[in-house]
Amino acid sequence: MATAEEVAKAAERRDVRDRWLLSAPALLVIFLAATGPLLIVLVYSFLTPGSYGDVKWQFSPEAWIAVFLERDIFDDTLSIAAAHVTIFLRSIKLSVVTTIATLVLGFPTAYFMATRSEKTRDLWLFLITIPFWTNLLIRTFAVLQIIRNEGIINTMLLKLGIISAPIQILYTDTAILIGMAYVYLPLMVLPIYASMEKLDFRLVEAGYDLYATRFQVLRRIIFPMVKPGVIAGSILVFIPALGAYVTPSVLGGGKNMMLSNLIELQFGQGRNWPLGSALSIAVMIIVMVALLAYVRNAGKSGVRHG
Amino acid sequence: MAKNFSIKHQPGFSAIAATCFIVLYLPIIVLVIYAFNAASSTSEWGGFSLKWFQSAWQNTQVVDATLRSFQIGSIAAVLSTIFATMAALATTRTASYPGLTFKYAAINQPLMVPEIVTGVALLIFFSRIKIFTGYSGIGYLVAAHTAFCIPFAYLPIRARLENMDLTLERAAADLYATPWKTFRRITLPLLWPGILAGLMLAFVISLDDVVITEFVKSGGQDTLPTYMLGQIRRGITPEINAISTAFLLLSVAIVTLFFFVSRKRD
């Protein structure tokens, strides 16, 4: 006869097994059409490029060397691949600046939303959610129409006589920056708003009672309490910005490439799939580092302000 | 200190917020206005006209791409929502068990990887399978979309489940309901708003995708966003404004619906 304990254990084991079966389809689809192929990219980054795209199954570290270095065709010496380094640095710089810009604009916006009355708060939330769920390509296209030479900004400045010739914004790094800040702003506002909404304003009041200035209250009370939201927002903006494809393709023109355009090039005209794979893995590594920093920070901030 | 000292006030914050909201909406409004422009350039106003909507409607490429988008979107949304519901049932309302953390990580994995990387990975993987099987249909796009829609569908369903306690289900079991009957008569009706929200979210996400579709699609498999990207790269006509406007309208309708479904508390 089985004891009660054994019966309970068997039931628990059955429950865990059922739960695995129940989650199997989702895990399987994600493994087949998202996670698994990433491993293939890793393998491809160590192979030799085929003549017409794809790869030859022959081990080679060349692709990884080519991420940052260039091999001279005549004497085989290595020098720094200036073009790649420029694109890496530009992508990182643009993503960091985008993150900062959205933070500077998004933090006050989230604060404004969170300090409205409970009824109107929903309306503001709705207003920020709409751009968040509307097509990113359409929003980028909308920015394109505003900033191009015949766009509303240049037309107005010309009519007002402030400028005599249109300012070339489109197809510059500034255009990419404006576009990314525009499309990713809701991604910054929403998580900050989520932590701001739970903010206990009695603490703010206590701060003022103790003669803190507005800025001191902001810096020493509000900011530390919503820091998890700020970090989450920064990650949510930084990751897609680093891998941004649509915005640089539409607003950056052909010359101002970002990492994703460089990767695309290797799979298109470049016909160097291993290099494209190595570059993709490199992007992943940068993202992982950012995520790890986030996880460590999120873990810490909970303790520090407890 | 001033008489009406507001503890919630921060200097300049409201101005920045106002600017943000205006800046967020202004480009979209301009885009919509120019969709009704009679002139064929997007820089001058030539009077009100619906001709660009008409021309988009008669453009077989646009209609074709739209239908394909809807087809992929609805299949991917239904599949991902079913899988996400099952996964949510398996990962909530339980004590921690071996593999639970792994499941969370695996389900959310598509959110952690830049789309370009997933796109490239699928390009490589599917091109192998294409050579191997000879099949080059729409199935690849459906599979890819289903995968990246799962974490989005999972979110509202899981949130809904976590707010439901097990009392009613236990009561049903006590009254000799079979597990399936309990699920169908108790769990499913209670969970329905979450499932609906997940379904809509997944559909919008699939409809909006550009990057992964761009890398996975074979020739002649443009969805509406990839078709539009191609057109925008070639130079712009107000027809793109018209298509964008119709697309926006649809998105806003779905988001509004989503907002009400997910906000509704029972």
Which whole number is the average pLDDT over A260-269?
92
Closest-CA residue of A relative to B145 is A33
The number of beta carbons lying within 10 Å of the beta carbon of residue B250 is 17
β-partners of residue A47 are: A59
For residue A240, which of A201, A169, A290 has the smallest C-alpha distance? A290
Confidence band (pLDDT; 50, 70, 90) for B96? confident
B118/B191 same-domain check? yes
Which whole number is the average pLDDT over A219-228?
90
B177/B91 same-domain check? yes
Which letter, b or e, does each residue of A39-77 get, where b requires 16 or more Cβ atoms within 10 Å of its Cβ?
ebbeebbbbebeeebbbeeeeeebbbebbeeeeeeeeee
Contacts of A78 (CB under 8 A, 6+ apart): A65, A69, A70, A71, A72
B91 contacts in chain A (CB < 8 Å): 19, 23
Q: Which residue has the higher pLDDT, A152 or A275?
A: A275
β-partners of residue A56 are: A48
With pLDDT > 70 as the criterion, what percentage of chain A qualifies? 96
Residue B107 has pLDDT above 90, yes or no: yes
Which whole number is the average pLDDT over B259-263?
75
B23/B122 same-domain check? no
B43/B67 same-domain check? no
- Output the domain CATH number for residue B215: 1.10.3720.10
Torsion sign, CA atoms A234, A240, A171, B237 = negative
pLDDT of residue B202: 94
* Nearest CA distance, B84 vs chain A (angstrom): 6
Please indicate whether, in this complex, the C-beta atoms of A245 and B31 are within 8 angstroms of each other: no
- Range of B28's domain? 11-49
* Nearest CA distance, B124 vs chain A (angstrom): 7
User: Which 8-state DSSP code applies to residue A265?
Assistant: H
B64/B17 same-domain check? no
pLDDT of residue A28: 95
pLDDT of residue A301: 55
Q: Which residue has the higher pLDDT, A74 or A241?
A: A241
Confidence band (pLDDT; 50, 70, 90) for A69? confident
pLDDT of residue B47: 86
pLDDT of residue B6: 81
- What is the rounded distance in angstroms from the CA atom of residue A256 to the CA atom of residue A64? 23
Closest-CA residue of B relative to A248 is B233
Residue A291 has pLDDT above 70, yes or no: yes
pLDDT of residue A1: 59
Confidence band (pLDDT; 50, 70, 90) for B266? very low
B135/B184 same-domain check? yes
B223/B120 same-domain check? yes
Q: How far is CA B66 from CA B57, B61, B72, B222, in A?
A: 10, 8, 10, 9
Mutate which of B1, B4, B24, B205 to test chain A, going by most A C-beta atoms within 10 A? B24
Contacts of B212 (CB under 8 A, 6+ apart): B115, B118, B119, B122, B144, B145, B148
Counted domains in chain B: 2
* Nearest CA distance, A250 vs chain B (angstrom): 7
Q: Which residue has the higher pLDDT, A19 or B263?
A: A19
pLDDT of residue A300: 62
B16/B63 same-domain check? no
Q: Which one of B7, B84, B225 has the shortest CB-CB distance to A201?
A: B7
pLDDT tens per residue across span A6-15 = 888 888 888 8
Q: Which residue has the higher pLDDT, B263 or B172?
A: B172
Residue A305 has pLDDT above 50, yes or no: no
Q: Within a 13 Å sphere around the CA of B23, how many CA atoms are in the beta-carbon half?
A: 20
Q: Exposed/middle/buried for A155, CB within 10 Å: 0-12, 13-18, 19+?
A: middle
Q: Which residue has the higher pLDDT, A152 or A298?
A: A152
- What is the rounded distance in angstroms from the CA atom of residue A301 to the CA atom of residue B34? 48
- Rounded to 5°, the CA angle B80-B83-B85 comes to 105
With pLDDT > 90 as the criterion, what percentage of chain A qualifies? 50
Confidence band (pLDDT; 50, 70, 90) for B80? very high
pLDDT of residue B264: 61
- What is the rounded distance in angstroms from the CA atom of residue B9 to the CA atom of residue B159? 33
- Rounded to 5°, the CA angle A115-A121-A127 comes to 120
B115/B198 same-domain check? yes
Closest-CA residue of B relative to A136 is B208
Please indicate whether, in this complex, the C-beta atoms of A105 and B20 are within 8 angstroms of each other: yes
B192 assigned to some structural domain: yes
Amino acid at B176: Y
pLDDT of residue A306: 34
Which letter, b or e, does each residue of A265-285 get, where b requires 16 or more Cβ atoms within 10 Å of its Cβ?
bbbeeebbbbbbbbbbbbbbe
Confidence band (pLDDT; 50, 70, 90) for A233? very high
Q: Cβ distance B37 to A123 under 8 Å?
A: no
pLDDT of residue A164: 87
Please indicate whether, in this complex, the C-beta atoms of A19 and B123 are within 8 angstroms of each other: no
Alpha-helix residue ranges (DSSP H) falling in chain B: 13-35, 51-58, 60-91, 100-112, 115-133, 139-162, 167-174, 179-182, 188-208, 211-216, 224-234, 238-263
pLDDT of residue B22: 95
Q: Which residue has the higher pLDDT, A53 or A239?
A: A239
Q: Within a 13 Å sphere around the CA of A170, how many CA atoms are in the beta-carbon half?
A: 21
B1 assigned to some structural domain: no
- What is the rounded distance in angstroms from the CA atom of residue A182 to the CA atom of residue B21? 11
A250 contacts in chain B (CB < 8 Å): 229, 232-233
pLDDT of residue B111: 87
pLDDT of residue B196: 93
Span between the terminal Cα atoms of chain B, in Å: 45
- H-helix or E-strand containing A110? helix A82-114
Confidence band (pLDDT; 50, 70, 90) for A238? very high
- What is the rounded distance in angstroms from the CA atom of residue A11 to the CA atom of residue A36? 33
pLDDT of residue B78: 98
pLDDT tens per residue across span B121-149 = 999 999 999 999 999 899 999 999 999 99
Both structure tokens of B137:
């249909």
Please indicate whether, in this complex, the C-beta atoms of A137 and B228 are within 8 angstroms of each other: yes
pLDDT of residue A258: 92
Q: Within a 13 Å sphere around the CA of B238, how many CA atoms are in the beta-carbon half?
A: 25
Residue A302 has pLDDT above 80, yes or no: no
Which whole number is the average pLDDT over A180-184?
97
Please indicate whether, in this complex, the C-beta atoms of B204 and A30 are within 8 angstroms of each other: no
B39 assigned to some structural domain: yes
B27/B137 same-domain check? no
Both structure tokens of A145:
């129409």
- Whole-number mean pLDDT of chain A? 89
Please indicate whether, in this complex, the C-beta atoms of B116 and A146 are within 8 angstroms of each other: no
B41/B129 same-domain check? no
B142/B178 same-domain check? yes
- What is the rounded distance in angstroms from the CA atom of residue A35 to the CA atom of residue B122? 10
